[in-house]
């Protein structure tokens, strides 16, 4: 009995100490006002809790915060303009390696990142790669809009499979069987920032292909890539027609309408179906499940997920308030309820946050929990920077897979073309 | 309708007065400068200078905020090998030619209809101009909704009529998307063509038609030998504007498809925006915009010389 | 003669009605969607899409109270009015100079202004963007107020030139001989007679300004500084949900001021279109 009490005391003491010992960025400027631009939510609970947390912050500190939301695609150019022009939002919560395009314009968040890392079990390696540039933290990873294979359990079973095959060869067979039964798969091949990037990168990496090597030489034009594109060519006919122009919402709509039985997506499809008042949608929610991507010939997971991170600009008039706001929103008291309300839309960047009950309460959500730990950064295998960001922004990987899959070019030509395009950014 | 010849004649007659006014003192030259100054300044600073700057940017590797260095024709050379750019040139020419031809045909037809004896003519004319008055982007939003893959009213009607059996993916399939945006552009452009051609029709003296009908001319002959030639100066002007506005269209495409699917509806203007702003390659985007200039000059010169020849025919 | 009437029906009235229907339908669709509740909007099997069973103000409410739409409306109006005023000031002076002052090179100036109108915004927007960033005007209404005249001034000048030309020069000549200054002549004689032209030019300029998109998209960034077209496109789509009801409401409300203006001044509109082209 006494042991427990003492341990409790100890825990309480540590907690108290950590609050007292909070780094001194908790001295925001008087009369500060913040402007935050973040990505548009896919799940209503996400924005509800973000707004509620922000309001809590304002009540506690008196700092007014204005949160605007725009689509991922529209944030990218705005961030670039803000960095160059020297005026705009104080904080941007955007995607991937965008901060690496203008590191010198960004506030140093190292102190904050170190504090959060040590308090919450450490940052996962990919987060360190995305957040750090030249030894200092320029971005604060929020997590990743994790992607998993979303599938209809009954349709997969009817096609003769108990679960999604764990290897790419089996996966292809599954898609062929689904198509034969009139319950096809469908994955985006348009310029869908989340969905198209995730499966196209996975596909190429799973076969050993990659955009650049460790020295940032463009090596996409390789036999491994061609093998991946051959696979894509075999996979594409099993899709429902029209995926070439699919944007991020397209597969959501198709899945919820029962037009496809398998796709790659975040938790948004499941969340919408589960919360819907319509019986048909709820039935889909009950009949669907998630699993991680299959493993290719390279023998290990090769997933790409849409990393979300916050970054702040040096031109901000209130850098201390910026850091305080970020600290506040990343602390467990705010982050965990927000994670909960998002129903697992964002997979956490810090180890401790995987322990939240939201990840295990509903077993269908669990596959999303650990994706950040093992994901590969988009500039794989090179370093993140302006070139990798530009390659992502131009959808070079996606276009290559789309061209080869639909037969616009042969796999060899598609890979060569991708190399040509990438070299324009990786030159010098 | 003023012609250059008329202007010169009037100029000549004014010169007499002008010299008398000048004798009375008053530097007309200085005053003119003063009067031209506001417009001149605005246009020099925000039009002439940017035009030159745009040409220079196209020859540089500038990004937003960073001035960039002169790289000669690098941008143009790389664009010449760029499939997406070449596709955008094709798209722009296709879009412009098809939409302009149809706009002209339908606009002329509508003008002929409106020229008839009709009740409520003013009201009808007001209705006809409506698509031109309403901001393009806002009507584009309406078209975006009309073309929705799942809820298109067009598909619904066609299914009810038994013409098709599934909802059309207007904006998801490359050629369907092209025709969809062309249709939207035509819808928006007909009023301008129709109303201006109508004004032209109304200046044609009825006596010409009377004389022709006395000679036994058919409606088609009336049209071909009286209406068209009399209208051709106005047609030239209207179509020049129409072609220019269609070629450089940005709003309609940006709202409805943003250039997709798979770049099938990317025009040079929208591609320029994407490369320069979204991809932060200001130099390359400017080069794309500059590439539009030869086409525009060709269109202007074509109609200018065409116009001159027709003026000659009038004697 | 008995056959002529049905024939006219088919060759004139029917095509006219069809064309009018096609021209009007998108507006009807826009309006009806703005007032249709979501339940009816996405359910064609139970609700005929052409009617509204339970009209609702929900979408308009959402638009006005949950987005920055009021800000966008204010911005758009402010920019349209300011740039129209600025453009008119420039145009009146320039048109008067070219038509009345007959200075050496007036014809050239006239031609230059005409050519200026032919330079499309989609070519100018990039160098203008670079300039706007440099001048520190980015994300402010001034960026638009100063750049809109580039396409407003040429058109208005051209239009006003036509109107000034119709005013008999003798009136001004008499005043000149009596010793009046040019400015007095402009104010007391020319302008009052050119009022129809001024109204036409103002209305057209206002409409062109309200219609502008690419400059507003490129030069404005913050939500509360946007104009209606830009705001509607960028902020009314949430993730994968297109709020069609609010989008259509935004389009409807955004068109209202211009259409209202238009309905009062149709004749001026038509004359400005035809007057400009006739030159």
Task: Work out the burial of residue A130: count CB atoms within 10 Å of its CB; fewer than 13 is exposed, 13-18 middle, 19 or more buried.
Answer: buried
> How many Å apart are CA C244 and CA C261, to the nearest integer?
26
DSSP character for C44? Answer: T
Q: What's the rounded mean pLDDT across residues C12-19? A: 90
Is the pLDDT score of C259 beyond 70?
yes
Verify whether the Cβ–Cβ distance B63 to A84 is below 8 Å. Answer: yes
Closest to B240 measured CA to CA, from A23, A149, C76, C115: C115
Chain B residues whose CB is inside 8 A of the A254 CB are: none
Residue with tokens 């596909």: A203
Search chain B and give the residue with CA nearest A245: B261
In degrees and rounded to multiples of 5, residue A377 shows phi and psi of: -70, 155
- Residue A196, helix vs strand vs coil: helix
The reply to whether C177 falls in a domain is yes
Res. B228 pLDDT band, cuts 50 70 90 = confident
> What 3-state class would DSSP assign to A259?
coil
Please indicate, yes or no, whether residues C9 and C89 belong to a single structural domain of this protein.
no
Question: pLDDT value at position B69?
Answer: 87
Q: What percent of chain B has pLDDT over 70?
A: 88
Identify the band that residue C5 occupies on the pLDDT scale cut at 50, 70 and 90: low
> CATH 3.40.190.10 spans which residues of chain A?
33-144+305-374, 148-304+383-425
- Same domain flag for C12 and C123: no
Q: How far apart are CA C32 and CA C26, in angstroms?
A: 10
- What ipTM did this prediction achieve? 0.86
pLDDT at C117: 84
Is C35 part of a structural domain of the chain?
A: no
* Closest residue to A78, CB basis, from C221, C239, C241: C221
Q: Which two tokens stand for residue A119?
A: 């308090």
Tell me, yes or no, if A82 comes closer than 8 A to chain C by beta carbon.
Answer: yes
For position B288, what pLDDT does the model report?
A: 95
Residue A408 neighbours by CB under 8 Å, 6+ apart: A402, A414
For the cut 60, the answer to whether the pLDDT of residue A23 exceeds it is: no
Pair A270, A150: CB distance under 8 Å: yes
Calpha distance B164→B148 (Å, rounded)? 16
Q: Check: CATH 3.40.190.10 for A148-304+383-425?
A: yes
Q: Among the residues of A236-345, which ranges form H helices?
A: 248-256, 268-275, 279-287, 319-330, 332-341
How far is Cα A338 from Cα A53, in angstroms, rounded to an integer? 8
In this prediction, residues A241-257 reach a mean pLDDT of 84
Give per-residue pLDDT as tens, B153-176.
888 888 888 888 777 878 877 899
Percentage of residues in chain A having pLDDT higher than 90 = 70
Residues of B in contact with A245 (CB under 8 A): 169, 171-174, 177, 260-262
Q: Provide the pLDDT for residue A90.
A: 95
Is B118 a residue whose pLDDT tops 80?
yes
Q: Taking CB atoms and an 8 Å cutoff, what residues of chain C touch B290?
A: 123
Query: Does C216 reside within a domain?
Result: yes
Peptide bond into B297 cis (omega under 30): no
Interval C133-146: pLDDT, tens: 888 899 999 999 99
> What pLDDT is recorded for position B17?
44
**Torsion, Cα of C258, C262, C264, C265 (10° steps):** 130
**Which of residues A132 and B309 earns the better pLDDT score?**
A132
Residue B6 above 50 pLDDT?
Answer: no
- Rounded to a whole number, what is the distance in Å from the CA of C134 to chain B's nearest CA? 8
Tell me which residue in A73, A81, A245 faces B172 most closely, judged by beta carbons: A245
| Closest by CA position to B35, among listed C278, C202, C161, C84 | C161
The DSSP secondary structure of C117-175, one letter per residue, reads HHS-HHHHHHHHHHHHHHHT-TTSHHHHHHHTHHHHHHHHHHHHHHHHHTS-HHHHHHH
CB B145 within 8 A of CB B212: no
How far, in Å, are A77, A214, B283, C53, C230 from residue C126 at the CA level? 14, 36, 9, 47, 17
**Each residue of C97-154: pLDDT tens digit?**
888 777 778 888 888 888 888 888 999 999 998 899 888 899 999 999 999 999 999 9
For C124, phi then psi, to 5°, come to -85, -20
**Is position C33 within any domain?**
no
Residues from A contacting B (CB-CB < 8 Å) are 73, 76-77, 80-81, 83-85, 101, 190-191, 242, 244-247, 253, 257, 390, 393-394, 402, 417, 424
Q: Which residues contact C150 (CB under 8 A, 6 or more apart)?
A: B42, B43, B46, B47, C116, C121, C124
Please give the class, per CATH, of domain A33-144+305-374.
alpha beta
Residue B310 pLDDT class (50, 70, 90 cuts): low
Six-digit token string for B224: 């071909």
Q: Which residue range forms the structural domain that includes residue C19?
A: 1-25
| Same domain, yes or no: C136 and C270 | yes
Q: Where are the beta strands (DSSP E) in chain C?
A: 237-238, 241-242
Query: Reduced to 3 states, what is the DSSP secondary structure of residue A270?
Result: helix
If you average pLDDT over residues A96-115, what whole number do you get? 93
Closest CA to C253 of C83, C85, C50, C57: C57
For residues B67-92, average pLDDT: 89
pLDDT at A208 over 90: yes
Ordered by where they begin, the domains of chain B are 78-314 (1.10.3720.10)
Question: C88 burial class (0-12, 13-18, 19+ CB within 10 angstroms)?
Answer: buried
pLDDT grade for C13, boundaries at 50, 70 and 90: confident
Q: B171: nearest CA in chain A?
A: A245
Q: What is the distance between the alpha carbons of residues C49 and C43, in angstroms, rounded to a whole number?
A: 8
Is A245 in contact with B150 (Cβ distance < 8 A)?
no
Rounded to whole angstroms, the Cα distance separating B137 from C258 reads: 13
CA separation for the pair C260, C264 (Å, rounded): 7
The alpha-carbon gap from A128 to the nearest alpha carbon of chain C, in Å, equals 27
Q: Answer yes or no: do C72 and C15 share one domain.
A: no
Q: Which of C239, C229, C252 is nearest to C59 (CA)?
A: C252
What mean pLDDT value characterizes chain A?
Answer: 89
Q: Please give the average per-residue pLDDT across B223-227, as a whole number.
A: 85
- Residue A24 has a pLDDT of 47
Residue C47 falls within a domain, yes or no?
no
Domain count, chain C: 2
The set of chains that have 3 or more CB pairs under 8 A with A is B, C
- pLDDT recorded at residue A329: 96
Residue A33 has pLDDT above 50, yes or no: yes
CATH number at residue C110: 1.10.3720.10
- Across the interface, do C270 and B156 touch by the CB < 8 Å criterion? no
By Cβ distance, the residue of B14, B50, B127 closest to C128 is B50
C67 neighbors C73 (Cβ within 8 angstroms): no
Q: Please, are residues C60 and C253 in contact by the beta-carbon 8 Å criterion? A: yes
The mean pLDDT value of chain C amounts to 85
Which of A18-22, A28-32, A380-384 bottoms out in mean pLDDT, i.e. has the lowest?
A18-22
Distance from the B147 Cα atom to the nearest Cα atom in chain C, whole angstroms: 11
Structural domain includes residue C39: no
d(CA B221, CA B238): 23
DSSP letter (8 states) at residue A311: E
Report how far residue B298's alpha carbon sits from residue B164's, in angstroms, rounded to the nearest whole number.
42
């Amino acid at each position: 009995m006494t042991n427990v009490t003492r341990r409790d005391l100890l825990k309480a003491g540590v907690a108290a100490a950590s609050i007292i010992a909070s780094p001194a960025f908790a001295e925001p400027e008087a009369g500060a006002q913040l402007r935050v631009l973040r990505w548009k939510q896919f799940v209503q609970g996400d924005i509800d809790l973000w707004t509620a947390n922000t309001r809590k912050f304002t009540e506690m500190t008196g700092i007014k915060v204005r949160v605007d939301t725009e689509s991922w695609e529209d944030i990218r150019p705005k961030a670039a303009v803000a960095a160059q022009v020297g005026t705009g939002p104080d904080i941007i919560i955007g995607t991937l390696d965008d901060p690496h395009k203008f590191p010198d314009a960004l506030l140093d968040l190292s102190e904050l990142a170190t504090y959060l890392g040590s308090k919450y079990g450490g940052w996962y390696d990919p987060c360190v790669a995305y957040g750090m540039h030249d030894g200092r933290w320029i971005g604060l990873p929020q997590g990743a809009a994790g992607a998993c294979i979303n599938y209809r359990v009954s349709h997969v079973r009817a096609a003769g499979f108990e679960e999604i095959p764990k290897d790419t060869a089996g996966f292809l067979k599954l898609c062929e069987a689904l198509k034969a039964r009139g319950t096809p798969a469908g994955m985006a091949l348009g310029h869908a920032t989340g969905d198209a990037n995730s499966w196209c990168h996975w596909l190429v990496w799973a076969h050993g292909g990659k955009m650049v090597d460790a020295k940032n030489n463009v090596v996409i034009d390789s036999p491994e890539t061609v093998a991946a594109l051959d696979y894509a060519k075999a996979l594409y006919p099993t899709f429902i027609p029209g995926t070439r122009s699919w944007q991020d919402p397209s597969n959501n709509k198709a899945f919820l309408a029962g037009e496809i039985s398998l796709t790659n997506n975040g938790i948004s499809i499941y969340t919408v179906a589960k919360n819907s008042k319509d019986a048909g949608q709820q039935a889909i929610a009950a009949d669907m499940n998630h699993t991680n991507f299959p493993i290719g010939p390279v023998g290990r997971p090769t997933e790409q997920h849409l990393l979300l991170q916050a970054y702040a600009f040096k031109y901000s008039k209130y850098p201390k308030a910026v850091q305080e706001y970020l600290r506040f929103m990343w602390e467990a008291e705010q982050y965990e309820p927000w994670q909960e309300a998002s129903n697992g839309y964002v997979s956490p960047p810090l180890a401790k946050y995987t322990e939240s009950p939201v990840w295990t309460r509903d077993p269908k959500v669990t596959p999303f929990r650990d994706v950040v730990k093992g994901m590969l950064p988009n500039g794989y295998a090179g370093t993140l920077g302006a070139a990798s960001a530009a390659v992502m922004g131009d959808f070079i990987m996606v276009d290559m897979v789309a061209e080869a899959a639909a037969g616009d070019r042969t796999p060899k030509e598609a890979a060569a073309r991708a190399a040509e395009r990438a070299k324009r950014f990786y030159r010098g | 309708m003023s012609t250059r010849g008329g202007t010169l004649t009037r100029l000549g007659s004014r010169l007499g007065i002008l010299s008398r006014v000048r004798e009375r003192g008053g530097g007309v030259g200085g005053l003119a400068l003063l009067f031209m100054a506001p417009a001149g300044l605005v246009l020099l600073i925000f039009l002439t200078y940017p035009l030159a700057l745009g040409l220079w940017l196209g020859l540089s590797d500038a990004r937003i905020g960073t001035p960039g260095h002169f790289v000669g024709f690098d941008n143009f050379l790389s664009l010449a090998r760029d499939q997406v750019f070449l596709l955008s040139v094709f798209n722009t020419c296709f879009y412009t030619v098809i939409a302009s031809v149809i706009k002209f045909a339908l606009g002329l037809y509508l003008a002929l209809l409106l020229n008839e004896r009709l009740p409520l003519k003013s009201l009808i004319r007001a209705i006809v101009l409506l698509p031109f008055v309403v901001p393009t982007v806002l009507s584009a939003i309406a078209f975006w909704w009309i073309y929705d893959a799942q809820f298109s009213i067009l598909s619904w009607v066609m299914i009810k009529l038994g013409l098709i059996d599934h909802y059309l993916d207007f904006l998801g399939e490359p050629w369907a998307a092209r025709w969809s945006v062309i249709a939207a552009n035509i819808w928006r452009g007909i009023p301008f063509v129709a109303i201006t051609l109508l004004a032209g029709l109304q200046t044609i003296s009825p006596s010409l038609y009377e004389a022709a009908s006395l000679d036994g001319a058919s409606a088609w002959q009336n049209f071909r030998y009286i209406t068209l030639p009399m209208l051709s100066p106005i047609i030239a002007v209207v179509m020049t504007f129409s072609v220019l506005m269609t070629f450089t269209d940005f709003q309609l495409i940006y709202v409805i498809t943003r250039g997709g699917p798979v770049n099938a509806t990317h025009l040079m203007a929208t591609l320029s925006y994407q490369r320069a702003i979204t991809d932060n390659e200001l130099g390359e985007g400017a080069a794309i915009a500059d590439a539009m200039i030869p086409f525009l000059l060709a269109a202007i010169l074509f109609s200018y010389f065409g116009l001159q020849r027709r003026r000659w025919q009038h004697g | 003669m008995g056959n002529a009437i049905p024939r006219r029906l088919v060759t004139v009235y029917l095509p006219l009605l069809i064309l009018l229907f096609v021209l009007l339908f998108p507006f009807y669709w826009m309006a009806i969607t703005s007032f249709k509740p979501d339940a009816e909007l996405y359910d064609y099997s139970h609700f005929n899409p052409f009617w509204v069973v339970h009209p609702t103000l929900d979408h308009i409410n959402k638009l006005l109270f949950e987005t920055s739409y009021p800000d966008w409306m204010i911005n758009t109006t402010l920019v349209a009015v300011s740039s129209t005023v600025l453009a008119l000031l420039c145009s009146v002076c320039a048109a008067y100079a070219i038509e009345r002052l007959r200075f050496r090179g007036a014809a050239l100036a006239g031609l230059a202004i005409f050519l200026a109108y032919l330079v499309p915004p989609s070519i100018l927007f990039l160098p203008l963007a670079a300039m706007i960033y440099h001048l520190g005007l980015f994300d402010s209404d001034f960026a638009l107020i100063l750049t809109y005249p580039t396409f407003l001034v040429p058109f208005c000048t051209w239009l006003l030139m036509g109107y000034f030309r119709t005013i008999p020069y003798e009136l001004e000549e008499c005043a000149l001989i009596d010793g009046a200054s040019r400015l007095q002549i402009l104010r007391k004689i020319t302008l009052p007679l050119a009022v129809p032209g001024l109204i036409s030019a103002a209305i057209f300029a206002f409409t062109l300004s309200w219609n502008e998109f690419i400059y507003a998209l490129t030069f404005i960034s913050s939500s509360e500084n946007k104009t209606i077209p830009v705001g509607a496109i960028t902020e009314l789509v949430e993730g994968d949900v297109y709020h069609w009801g609010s989008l259509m409401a935004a389009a409807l409300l955004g068109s209202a001021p211009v259409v209202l203006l238009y309905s009062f001044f149709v004749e001026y509109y038509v004359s400005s279109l035809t007057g400009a082209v006739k030159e």
